[in-house]
Amino acid sequence: MRTDFNCRVSRRSLLLAGAGLAATAGLGSRPAFAANIREYKIAAAPARVGLLGENHPETDVWAYNGSVPGPTLRLRQGEPARIVVDNRLAQDTTVHCHGIRLPIGMDGVPGISQAPIKPGERFTYGFTPPDAGTFWYHPHANSLEQFGRGLAGVLIVDEREPVAIDRDLVWMLADWRLGSDGVIAAGFGNHMEAVMAGRTGSTVTLNGAVPIDQPVRAGERIRLRLVNGALARLMALRFEGHRPVIVAVDGQPCEPFEPDNGRLLLGPAMRIDVIIDMQGEPGRRYAVVDDFYDGLSYTLTNLIYDQGVPVRPHALDGPLSLPRNPLPEPDLTTAERHDIVLQGGMMGAGMMSGLGGMNGMMTPGMDGGAAWAINDISMTGDGQAGMPPLLTFQRGRSVVLSIRNQTAWWHPMHFHGHSLRVLNRNGAPVPHHQWQDTVLLAPKDTVDCAFVADNPGDWMLHCHVMDHQVAGLMTILRVA
Ligand code: C2O
Ligand code: CU
Ligand code: CU
Is ligand 1 within 6 A of the CB of residue 269? yes
In whole angstroms, give the CA distance from residue 391 to residue 296.
40
Which atom, in ligand 1's list, is nearest to the CA of 140? 2
Residue 98 contacts residue 137 (beta carbons within 8 Å): yes
Who surrounds ion ligand 3 at CB < 5 A? 411, 463, 465, 468
Query: Facing residues of 478 across strands?
Result: 392, 458
pLDDT of residue 8: 32
Average pLDDT over residues 457-461: 97
Predicted confidence at residue 317, as pLDDT, reads: 80
Cα dihedral sign, 446-452-453-454: negative
163 three-class SS: coil
Report helix, strand or coil for 9.
helix
Tell me the mean pLDDT in the region 279-293. Answer: 97
pLDDT at 33 over 50: no
Q: Is 96 in the pocket of ligand 1 (CB under 6 A)?
A: yes
pLDDT band, residue 2 (cuts 50/70/90): very low
**pTM, entire model:** 0.90
Q: Given this model, what pLDDT does residue 387 score?
A: 82
- Reply yes or no on whether the pLDDT at 225 is more than 50: yes
Tell me the backbone φ, ψ of residue 396, rounded to 5 degrees: 95, -10
By the 10 Å C-beta count (0-12 exposed, 13-18 middle, 19+ buried), 26 is classed as middle
The residue type of 37 is I
Which atom of ligand 1 is least distant from the CA of 136? 1
Residue 364's pLDDT band, with cuts at 50, 70 and 90, is very low
Ligand positioned closest to the Cα atom of 407: 3
CA distance 426 to 408: 16
pLDDT category of residue 353 using cuts at 50, 70 and 90:
low
CA 200 / ligand 1 centre spacing (Å): 18
Task: Give me ligand 3 centre to Cα 36, in Å.
Answer: 40
- C-alpha of residue 428 to centroid of ligand 3, in Å: 23
The amino acid sitting at 235 is M
